[in-house]
Each structure stands twice: as C-alpha cells, then as structure tokens.
Structure 1
Amino acid sequence: MSERSYAILGTGALGGFYGAKLQKAGLDVHFLLKSDYEYVRDSGLVVESVDGDFTLPQVNAYNDVAKMPQCDVVVVALKTTQNHLLPQILPPVVKAGGVVLILQNGLAVEEEVAAIVSNVTIIGGLCFLCSNKVGAGHIRHLDYGQITLGEYASGYQACGVTEKMQQVADDFIHGGISIELTADLLLGRWKKLVWNIPYNGLSVILNARTDELMAYEHTRKLAEQLMYEVAAGAKSCDRIIPDSFIQLMLDYTVKMKPYRTSMKIDADEGRPLEVEAIFGTPLRKAQAAGVYLPQINCLYQQLKFLDGRLTVDG
C-alpha cells in the first residue's frame, strides 16, 4: 500500500470522482470543498459509477487550506476559471519535493503552476472522463475515466516516463483507474484538445449533447474539421497528431453515452466558461508560430460573447 498522501483541490465531478476512488483503495486523501463542505464533512461522498456504486461515509473534508496537512501529491482539479486562486491555495498544501498533478483542460496550465511553486515535480493529467456532480457530495460517473500522465519540463520539453510519474500512476491504478503514460506532455495536451475544442465549443454554441452533435451529418463534419484544425495547431508547435487519432476520437464519441460536456454544464448553470485555456491559449500559440486557425477562432469569438453574457448576468 502506498504511503503517499493526496490533496484534492476542487472536489467536483472530476476531483471528487478520482479522489473518492483513491480513498476507496485505502490511500490517505484530503478534500478541499466550497459549497458542499458541510454536507460532505457530515455525510461523506456518494459515487454512482458504471464501474460500481460506492459510498464513503467519512472523508477528510476542509473548506480552508490552512487546516489541511501538507501532502505528497496535490491534485489540482479546479476549473481553469478559478486558477487565480492557486497562488493562495497551492503553496500551503504541497510538500517540498512533492508532486502537483494538474487534472485540467486546456494548454499551458503547467506553466501557470510552475510560476507559483518551485522544488516540486509538476505532472499534467489528461482525463477522458464522463462524470457529473448531480447533488451535494454526489457524483455520477457515466463512462470512461482514463488519465494520461506526462511530466512537465520547462518549455514543454519531452522528458520521458519518470519515476514520479510511475509512482502516481501506480496509486491510481491501485484505485481502479486506467492510466496511460506519455513521454511528451505537450503532445498529450494537444491530443486532448482534439476532443475538447469541437465538443465543448459546439455543445455550448449549438445547445446540444455529444450524441446530438454526432447524429447529424453537418455537425459531425464540423467536429471533424475542427479536429483537423487542432492537429494543425499541434503541428505549429512541432507535435504531430495522426489522422488515425482523429478517427479514434470520432468513433469514441459516437459510442459515448449521451453527454453534456463540462462547458455545456457550466453554461447551463450560469458559471464562467473555460474559454481562454481551451480556445484562447491554443489559438495564440499557433498564431505566434504563424498558423491561423479560422474555425477555432470563430468558436472562440462566439464563446467569448456568450461567456461575457454569463458573467454580466451572473
């Protein structure tokens, strides 16, 4: 049994699910919560899952990082719209020489963390997960769940499969979570955008679930075209995404259970959208290399308009 301790910053559909799986497997896990704090402190977490339902009647719940112990691995599972909080909440909970595992969407999120904490190992995690929070302390896992892990080095240099990556991977595998290790985190982040950019963007703009987007020839074709633009963006950063991977993502989405993307849920519930991390940063990275991505830019401008409305109305 691993003696590594874990802190989960952001106990929502993603952080709550993975943290609960780790605790169920016997690891020492500490959860930072906001709106659910009192409920989870008193009643624990409930996970409905295609892999089997379970309840954790007692968890280590906190609403203040000052009360949390320093942990060996700190999992950042906040939405990127909350990353302005990281300078305050991250340094107190991560041990010197520890690991920060970033389970967030988008590009360049590891660079943000590297500017906040030093003397730690930063690992990016790309989650292919269909999971929703359906109530206080109540998570519903619908499909998939694999995480691709890659270690961050300055400038996103590929640094291979490291010992720290393998240790974290072993803990997650012990928790029943499928893990893939990538030697090149930047390539992994661009590959995740192959799915995130078309489906998060179109689901909000067209007010549709993934199954609805794939049921119509024109929206399915548009999703495919957007995927090829993401591949062009990756190529501008010297990363190659093969056509076979794009076909794989299309096939996965056809087989996926009807799903509201995380951005669609945020829009439906009037929360800020992760527009910059998922769309703005990749566009700027490609543009800096002289590559223009017109269809992704079109999504970006529309989403900025909708996000502005949500922010004003909220």
Structure 2
Amino acid sequence: MISTTPKGDRRYAILGTGALGGYYGACLQRVGLEVHFLLHRDYQHVREQGLVIESADGDFTLPVVNAYDDVAQMPACDVVIVALKTTQNHLLSDMLPPVVKDDGVVLVLQNGMGIEQEVAQLVGSKRVMGGLCFLCSNKVEPGHIHHLDYKQITLGEYLPDYQPGGLTQRMRQIADDFERASIPITLAEDLLLARWQKLVWNIPYNGLSVVLDATTNELMADNSTRSLVEQLMGEVLAGASATGRKISDRFIQTMLDYTEKMTPYRTSMKIDYDERRPLEVEAIVGNPLRVATAAGTDLPLISMLYRQLKFLDMQNRRFNTD
C-alpha cells in the first residue's frame, strides 16, 4: 500500500515521456509533486531545456525536470506510470524492478486489453493498477507536447482474471494527486468493464483512421464511415457481453457525441502508422478479439479490421528493415 506516504509527498516515475506520459507528468510536477521522467530520443533536449506544454487549458513550461535515459539512475518511486506504447512492453522486465518501491504501485496508462496481466507477472498483481485515458495529445517536437482536448482518466484496481477490485484507499490517494493537477478522475470498481468501454472508442477510431487514412472528424462527416464506426462499436459491446460485462447501447451515442465535439484529431495509431512505427494492433484489437472468440462470440467486422491492420503494420515493419 502507499497509504503511509503523506499527502502531496508521493514520488512519481513516468516511463515513456511522450504525448500521454509527458503531459500527465508535467501536470503533476506543475502542482508541486516530485516527478521523474524516463526519455529516449529527446533526453538531451529535455534535460537541458525542460518540457513545453501547449494546451487547450493554457500553455506552460517546466524549464527544469528530472530527466533520465537510464532507468537504473532513477530513484525508487511510489507510483510508476507506464506510458510506453504496448509495442515496447518487452522492455518492462528490465525497467520496472529498479524504479518501483516495495510498497509502490505500477499504474498502467496504456490502451488495449490484457496489459495488466503482463505487468503483474513482473511485479505481482497486488502492485498493479490500470488507467484508461481519454486524451487528445501529440508530441510535436522534442520536449514539446500539444494537448488538444479532453484529459480525464478512469482508474481501476487489477485483480487476477480481472475480477472487480472495488474502490481502494490508494486509488483515492492517486486520484487526489491527479485532481490537484486539474485532471478529472473517475474511479472504476471493475477494471475489465472500464477497458471494454474504452475499446468502444479505440477499436473503431484507431483502426479506421489507419485503414481509411482519415482523422476523427473525417470519419464522422461521412455517413458510410460513421455507420461503420457504429457497427464496430456494437461488436465491442457484444465482446464485452461475452465476458460478462454489460455496456448499455446508449454508451455508443455518448462516444459518438464526444467525438463530434472533439477537436479534429489524428489518432495515436494513425500517427504511428504515418511515422512508420510499429502499431499497437495486438493490444487494442487482437487481444479483445481473441477474448471474445474464446468466449464463443464472433466479431466479423473487428476480425476483418484486425487482419487489415496486421497487413499494414507488416508493410511498415518491412519498410523499416529494407
């Protein structure tokens, strides 16, 4: 437990200082929390010049941050935020042990399904929490993050086999820190349900943005693609139901309304595709598809989308090896 740590004195580590980790970590540091950032390509730039946050809520700069390019140099922290792409999770076996305190927690802020299980194998299930971010943010230059819209996080405890974990003291403590940083937090008693709810948005918009070369507003503006989005969302609800998690049909309209109001957005998977980086196909589409299939539910549109994304991802990977 992290309950022995006085309010405001929790030490945070950010593994993956990109559009998501950099934004949330900067917000936490801005209100006085101790934050340590692991970086890769822009380590030297951030170490010398800090972080710049260009935000819909007001721009700010952190001229000095605790920046590292080696996890072994980081102090042990109360809360370790995993904000890497899931395609880099093979690195976590080396990253996590040195940086998470014995009584600390690993907060997994990644898209998709089944990620907490992987982390639990490394640090134990009692030290794992999941978070679902509804955030529109891009890293536009080294050390420069552009926050366009939304920023809320849903937190949930992880238990083996994704049994509902209820609401715990440490969830409330971490939520207090984020809310001090003006990040709205929802506490979820059932992490698996929360992950299926996030996939209602992630599967159609991330997937179709790559396959159809489109931004969110373009997908919403065309009747055919909007209808396809709704059909994919319906299949996500069917997948959730197969695992015993009921999501109301009204939730589809809620997600459509959110997206219509959203600043036109190039999804994270589309950015990765355009930059010829590996796509998070397995975590976001493959894992939930396999879970639903194992439960006896056929998801034909998601299955087709998965195969299309696998093909495009392989084409990108071949390009990078040529």
TM over 0.5: yes
Is the Cα contact below 8 Å between 1:65 and 1:92 reproduced in 2? yes
* Matches of 1:298 and 1:138, distance apart in 2: 36
* Matches of 1:57 and 1:204, distance apart in 2: 36
* Matches of 2:126 and 2:144, distance apart in 1: 32
2:255 corresponds, among 233, 249, 259, to: 249
* Matches of 1:113 and 1:121, distance apart in 2: 9
Change (3 A) 1:234 1:11: same
2:14 counterpart of 1:8: yes
Q: What amino acid does structure 2 have at the position aligned with 1:122?
A: V
Determine the structure 1 residue equivalent to 2:181.
Answer: 175
* Matches of 1:9 and 1:269, distance apart in 2: 21
Query: With structure 1 as the length reference, what TM-score do the two structures score?
Result: 0.99
Is the Cα contact below 8 Å between 1:99 and 1:122 reproduced in 2? yes
Query: Once the 2 structures are TM-superposed, how far is the Cα of residue 118 of structure 1 from its aligned partner?
Result: 2.5
Determine the structure 2 residue equivalent to 1:203.
Answer: 209
2:293 counterpart of 1:287: yes
Q: What amino acid does structure 2 have at the position aligned with 1:293?
A: L
Determine the structure 1 residue equivalent to 2:166.
Answer: 160
Aligned pairs, how many?
Answer: 314
2:241 counterpart of 1:231: no
Determine the structure 1 residue equivalent to 2:52.
Answer: 46
* Matches of 2:33 and 2:288, distance apart in 1: 36
Query: Once the 2 structures are TM-superposed, how far is the Cα of residue 311 of structure 1 from its aligned partner?
Result: 0.6
Deviations 1:162-221 (A, max 9, x none): 111111100000111010111000000000000000000000000000000000000000
Query: Once the 2 structures are TM-superposed, how far is the Cα of residue 119 of structure 1 from its aligned partner?
Result: 7.3
Instruction: Report percent identity of matched pairs.
Output: 67
Is the Cα contact below 8 Å between 1:172 and 1:179 reproduced in 2? yes
Deviations 1:126-150 (A, max 9, x none): 0000000000000000000000000
2:144 corresponds, among 138, 144, 160, to: 138
Q: What amino acid does structure 2 have at the position aligned with 1:279?
A: V
* Matches of 1:253 and 1:168, distance apart in 2: 28
* Matches of 2:315 and 2:31, distance apart in 1: 43
Is the Cα contact below 8 Å between 2:126 and 2:159 reproduced in 1? no
2:268 counterpart of 1:262: yes
Query: With structure 2 as the length reference, what TM-score do the two structures score?
Result: 0.97
Is the Cα contact below 8 Å between 2:125 and 2:160 reproduced in 1? no
SS of 1:74's equivalent in the other structure is strand
SS of 1:87's equivalent in the other structure is helix
* Matches of 2:38 and 2:70, distance apart in 1: 7
Query: Once the 2 structures are TM-superposed, how far is the Cα of residue 120 of structure 1 from its aligned partner?
Result: 4.7
1:104 corresponds, among 100, 110, 118, to: 110
Query: Once the 2 structures are TM-superposed, how far is the Cα of residue 81 of structure 1 from its aligned partner?
Result: 0.4
* Matches of 1:79 and 1:173, distance apart in 2: 24
Query: Once the 2 structures are TM-superposed, how far is the Cα of residue 122 of structure 1 from its aligned partner?
Result: 1.1
4+ residue segments displaced more than 6 Å: none
Is the Cα contact below 8 Å between 1:172 and 1:178 reproduced in 2? yes
Moved more, 86-95 or 111-120: 111-120
Q: What amino acid does structure 1 have at the position aligned with 2:243?
A: C
List gaps (5 residues or longer) in structure 2: 1-6
Query: Once the 2 structures are TM-superposed, how far is the Cα of residue 91 of structure 1 from its aligned partner?
Result: 1.1
* Matches of 1:274 and 1:261, distance apart in 2: 12
Query: Once the 2 structures are TM-superposed, how far is the Cα of residue 97 of structure 1 from its aligned partner?
Result: 1.4
* Matches of 2:297 and 2:169, distance apart in 1: 36
2:124 corresponds, among 118, 122, 126, to: 118
2:190 corresponds, among 177, 184, 190, to: 184
Deviations 1:274-302 (A, max 9, x none): 00000110011011111110000000000
1:71-110 equivalence runs, <5 A = 71-110=77-116
Q: What amino acid does structure 1 have at the position aligned with 2:106?
A: V
Q: What amino acid does structure 2 have at the position aligned with 1:116?
A: L
